[in-house]
Chain A
Amino acid sequence: MISVIEVYNAVRDLANKDQKGFVSPEMFNSLLPAVQSKIFGKIYDAALQGKALRRSGADLGGEDSLYLKAKNFISEYISSGILQQVNIPSIYDDSGVYKKPENLNRIISVFNDESVNVDLIYNSEKISRILNSNLSAPTDDFPIGLVSSEIEIFPRPGSDVYINYYRNPTSRYETAGARFAAGDIDYRRQPSYSAQTSGSLVIPNPFDCRAFDLPAEFRDEVVKEICMMIGVSLRDNVLMSYGASQQ
């Protein structure tokens, strides 16, 4: 988790120290979903870099491995649930159509309540060939799922179907409240900064603030990314080049 209050203060001090009012909370908030999405993509990039290092023999071993570090970051986003069946007419017989979870980023696995894994196919061109194959045709022991805008499973499952997936990042509670602890995930909101003004003073409201749903290691990246965006907005070359050069 990255505190949105700390990030706001850092950005304000970098961009706005002598020109109070340029970075308003509203403007700051409008940038946060895009920044979070970009940094989330960088976690996958880190995994790719770790893989390249490992292949070249340059990655550190054991718990110091960069690849494992990136995988550890990604594991924060693993979620699971029961797939909801939908009544959509299918051109194929004997299949069940299921709705993807709303916050789905990438599917890890789909399985039934007997832990039989559903083999996932992303290529709709191949599914009819698979269904007609006398070798690869899906069976109850080897079901196949076609992933498109929905997930269509062959043959039609007789029981609940579960999914493990990477969710999209949302936000985390900045501070503990009556029903949640600091750092708990708020699935409904994106990160946002909230403040109350008292005269000339601007006081953050931590109960209404939502922190970034990103690993703390990426705090510096978040600040720089926001600085670069604000630099573009303010036509401030110094701020823009600071953000761009440091990445």
Chain B
Amino acid sequence: MPGIGVFVCWCGSNIASTVDVERVVEEVSKLRDVSFVTHYKYMCSSPGQNIIKEAIQNSKLEGVVVAACSPRMHELTFRKAAKEAGLNPYLLEMANIREQCSWVHSDKKIATEKAIQLIRMSVAKVTKNLPLEEIKVSVIHRALVIGGGIAGIQSALDLAEAGIETLLLERTPSIGGHMAQLDETFPTLDCSQCILTPKMVSVAQNPHITLHTYSELEKVDGFVGNFRVTIKHKARFVDEKKCTGCGLCQQKCPTQIPAEFDEGIGKRKAIYIPFPQAVPNIPVIDKEHCIWFKKGKCRVCEKVCPAGAINYEQQDEYITEEVGAIIVATGYRLMPKNVYGEYGYGRFKDVINGLEFERMLSASGPTSGKVLRPSDGKEPKVVVFIQCAGSRDPRKGVPYCSRICCMYTAKHSMLLKHKCPGVKAIVFYIDIRAGGKGYEEFVRRAEEEEGATFIRGRVSRIYQKGNKLIVKGVDTLTGSQLEVEADLVVLATAIMPQEDAKELAQKLGISYDEYGFFTEAHPKLRPVETSKAGVFLAGCAQAPKDIPDVVAQASGAASKVLALFSNKELVREPIIAKVDEVNCVGCFACEKSCPAQAITRKEIRDKSGNLIKEVAKVEPGVCQGCGACVVTCRGGCIRLEGFSDEQLFAEVNVL
């Protein structure tokens, strides 16, 4: 292919100070296939792009090499310019003489030689390039939001407001998540329920939102714009259509067990609505504890139900839905009880965690808003709060910071002071991390105005002495050991990903970090996208964060979905794998190697419909162009468009 144009960029002094651009031009112009060479200070600028466009048209170029920065930086820019000049954009290649040459070398002579080599390689490659056409896929304008906490609720509401039909999936009987359990929220001390429940009601009433509570994601197929999801409706044993939510069944049920919503401090029945403001207001029978399911006797709820809604025969149901995008907002759990044996959490009744304390504070909670010791129901005189109980402890807990504990502990100490006049609140901390709007002021208020005592240091041990808890710790500011006689100890246990987060990530084909938090596509610039197109993140499933950040991210995720849905069809880069169906023997080794699950099976039939063989097929919408299948294929029957063997060999052979 003669007629290749080479455009060498100075990038100001970025390239030109280390690479002798003029000598490069001189050498490159001697190459056999090159018919046009020039250089310019900033090739990416508008005049720079015009040089390329004009050369393509005037010199009738059949291929272009731009020797400049990394293709990550400007490949798109130059390909667009090529397209505008009438050249297939995939006939343009970049030679990276900045990041891979000028920036990493200091010897100008050697760097210049290397730049020439890099350009020669790109020229050799571009002679083998084939014109490629962009891939277009249709988009289903429906979204699935997984998780009905504040993150999922916010995303669903934002989407619905834009008129997008949204499915909201929640595995517990009600939406609301952890936020519904909280009492007041920092830094403004507004009541959590008061700001959350109106949103929950909006979800229930919004015609664009279909709520699937007590349901879990079973399976996901497909790709961006075209997902097929299977949802498992767990049997409630209550007919949702007949139930009026009167609550008689839960009044009369004889079985009492610790309530999950109250973190075990309060009790619930075997048939229950988790909390009064639950959405939907429909009970669930907990099969594990129900006397009828265990012993075959009782059926009290059935007898008292005026609507005849109880149905012990109900089965799990599976439904399939098609959606174009998925937002994952599955939230967090707190660190299990047994990590710190020395704190006796789980053994000493009066050592509790932050959420348990939150339920105590809540006016609608099991103690009606009174702070009482779980052991004897008395009001505490001294309460010790221990921050970083698991966070920032690589040895026993997790190395990361849970981000919300400093703030909620300050809040706890404040609310405690409000509820129990004369009480002593002592906070053990490592550092106070109060970076947020109004946050530092809030912690100061807890300390200076409300009179909570903050001690910088860690607690080594808690033990029981009579009905008191002795908290042994160190004050690292004075360097002294101290022992505090406490009535109640509240641990700020670490935020952790949901136990089955990794399983869900594998179902969705998204990546997760060493702890199980889902990974964003870029830590700074793409915080709500995942590595899988069409799947977005919101809330603590991605990393620990507080309510304002969760809501912001949830709205961000919703707006990303809306941007995606603003297209009728999606245009994707054609850099994908192609199967040579003639030679494929159908071993499907490629199927296993594909991280994006883009490879399916295709039947090849003869004219009369008899099956000849099964071959691999690459789903163009799903393929990420990673090339894993190409190297796996023993027969060499898969080729990566834009990176074929011929192209790569051509590049290597000129070295």
Are these two chains actual partners, yes or no? no
